[in-house]
Structure 1
Amino acid sequence: MPQKQKSHQSWSELKQAGNERFKRGQYGEAAHLYSDAIRELEKSNKKNPEDLGILYSNRAASYLKDGNCGECVKDCSMSLELYPFNVKSLLRRAAAYEALERYRQAYVDYKTALQIDCNIAAAHDGTNRMTKALTEADGPSWREKLPPIPTVPLSVREKLSQQTTANTPTPNRAAQQNGSRETKRNTPSDKDMKRGQALKEEGNALVKKGEHKKAIEKYSQSLKHNPTEVTTFTNRALCYLSVRQYREAVRDCDEALVIDSSNIKALYRRAQAHKELKDVKASVDDLNNLLTVEPNNAAALKLLQEVQRKK
């Protein structure tokens, strides 16, 4: 039995085994392995607060996937004590608070994460959802009832932004290869963001008319103004799929996944492109990664069946 061997494994081996279980969607087993890793690391002479903080954050992710939001909050809080302002722990705790309908705390965590990296799509989306929920619950004065939002020091922001890029496990080979690009994306000016948004909307209108080649031109112009907008990449990827430019679709999805490593549309559209390019393994990998994020995604489940029949 694997349990009999665990005492001979180092904390890093147990962590790796937990990561493998997590990737397969075996969240309960992953949580047990992370617990074993935490115990081993706490016993060792090489105890590093940051390593321990990451283990708590990983176990929190397993709890979150299993719907155990109370334990997720506890582990994220422990992680943040050991490894202050860790983006993953902030986002996981925010998601758990949101599921527990503790919207004020969720809002604070989403906003704190955005101080560290203003390009995190999940944090923007979460902030928007919490703003809507809190406005409905507390009326226009909802901000007055918020807990204080911590100020992230500039030195911490710079360090954590670099570490997030270096350490974030991406769900695929291509995103890993492109991972260094995230730090090189300069935050666009307000003027560029507005121009990029206008061009993206022109592209969206052309898609609705079925004019995919013209839409590709608009999205390309938009990305020159704002190369940090994930939906512009996924929208252009959709157009490339429509005009059968599958390698270009893969490239755009790669770019989108550098910005947001669990983006559903990017994973799904890249899986479609890989299928057309006859790369069955890459397509299956993308769909399995998508299904770890959204297990009941009907379109992905259907496409996975189709792709697996081609094996």
Structure 2
Amino acid sequence: RRQRRDGLVPRCAAPGRQRGVPRGQYGPAAALYSRALAQLESAGDAPAEERSVLLANRAACHLKDGACNLCVADCTSALELVPFGIKALLRRAAAYEALERYSLAYVDYKTALQVDCSVQAAHDGVNRMTKALLEKDGVNWRQKLPPIPTVPISAQTRWSVPSAQASGANTPPATAPRGERGGNVPLAQTLKEEGNELVKKGNHKKAVEKYSESLKLNKECATYTNRALCYLTLKQYKEAAQDCTEALKLDPKNVKALYRRAQALKELKDYKSSIADIKSLLKTEPKNTAALRLLQELNRA
């Protein structure tokens, strides 16, 4: 499968083959799922779970055939019947990604991680969408995101339970991506998302509390950089720099951590260290406009 230079999926396609569907026969398979759905509906009182599974399976066929909008519609219907279904979330995210609706894809990938944080396909999707949204909307891309739903504990999968079998997401990662496992990773993710929502509302002090609770359960790079952003807004520059340093221990080339530490160090008048961070960032993203702008300000300081 060919990919674009930026690593994003070039057309509506999902990794791997759907079990029981011969290669290239996804259209006929979708028709069979449609017949099965019609039979369930005509019988009446069809269990929501069965209808949701059939819709998610038909969505997978649409995804393979490049019918991304149909895939989105089926996944949405499946999720209305069974909220937070992992397969429907992942397949809808893949369809949104192929349609270049990156914000919606990001939300679905992040929601899937709340359900089961061991799904590597969701982690990979979040990383791709973060890169795409950063390039599209700049460093403040998070402010333009739709709300990310909070998955109830009852719908979350524990680390000790095998993840839902979804295309390209069958094997848990050996280590938690960009972080370290703690005692309750799903709860840590939920707390982080609550912090993100508070940031959107401008309540940075309360967000710091949520991020701090999350970090007690799971040391994750993104949580440190998110809390650092709050500290910057609150003008607590030493704390911001410290959080970025912790994030860089987990991910030495993390762009957000380097940029935000450079901002904090600039305010602390440590211009030399701030410039060093920006130059390190530019080795990874030489065309990062925000970093180039900050470097110009530092050189004038």
TM-score w.r.t. length of structure 2: 0.48
TM-score (norm 1): 0.47
Whose helix fraction is larger, Structure 1's or Structure 2's?
Answer: 1
